[in-house]
């Protein structure tokens, strides 16, 4: 696969709390790190996202009396999954995995920092209206194709890929550089959505 200066690698939330031993560990989450590091060497443009929640964030189950992680509540913008407290601003859990090569990144997008709204997508918060600023960056830089990797495939990777596609970009998800949580069949639903949206899914061999 030929990578041009109009392509960007978007590495989603490769943070300690999403890796083994973390507060919201994705099974095998840390295994995306060597894959992303290897792929990143092919790209002149790389963006990292970082979950960056206040301790009283609305998506944290401990902030709702009687609620348990992975239950849901209804908010102004729709159904919200309640998560274990994770990626709290300034905590070690919010830091990037120590082995992730962050030196190639030209931008870090912090998301989920507004107390009353969660943010899965790298482009928009969960109300589908509040921008993170990444869309403007991609357009200003005149980038055309967004390659997406990271955590978790069926939440933040999925929402980021879908929003980029809706915004008019070509989108490619690098499956072997992602890992999923798989809540109630969410990985299968993600692959179905990618097909419907025209989002390509490729393996690592495409970059060898």
Catalytic residue numbers read 13, 111, 156
Longest dimension (CA), the chain: 52
Counting Cα atoms < 13 Å in the Cβ hemisphere of 189 gives: 11
Query: Cβ atoms within 10 A of the Cβ of 96, count?
Result: 18
């Amino acid at each position: 696969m030929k990578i041009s200066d109009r392509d960007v690698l978007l590495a989603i939330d490769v943070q300690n709390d999403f890796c083994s031993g973390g507060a919201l560990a994705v099974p095998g989450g840390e295994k995306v790190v060597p894959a992303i590091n290897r792929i990143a060497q092919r790209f002149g443009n790389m963006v990292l996202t970082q979950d960056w929640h206040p301790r009283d964030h609305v998506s944290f189950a401990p902030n709702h009396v009687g609620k348990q992680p992975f239950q849901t509540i209804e908010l102004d913008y729709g159904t919200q999954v309640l998560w274990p407290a994770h990626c709290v601003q300034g905590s070690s859990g919010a830091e990037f995995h120590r082995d992730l090569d962050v030196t190639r990144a030209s931008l870090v997008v912090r998301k989920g920092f507004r107390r009353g709204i969660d943010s899965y997508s790298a482009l928009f918060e969960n109300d589908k209206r509040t921008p993170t600023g990444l869309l403007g960056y991609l357009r200003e830089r005149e980038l055309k194709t967004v390659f997406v990797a990271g955590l978790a495939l069926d939440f933040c990777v999925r929402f980021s890929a879908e929003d980029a596609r809706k915004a008019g970009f070509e989108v490619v998800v690098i499956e072997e550089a992602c890992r999923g949580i798989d809540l109630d069949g969410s990985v299968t639903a993600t692959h179905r959505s990618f097909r419907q949206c025209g989002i390509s899914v490729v393996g690592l061999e495409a970059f060898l």
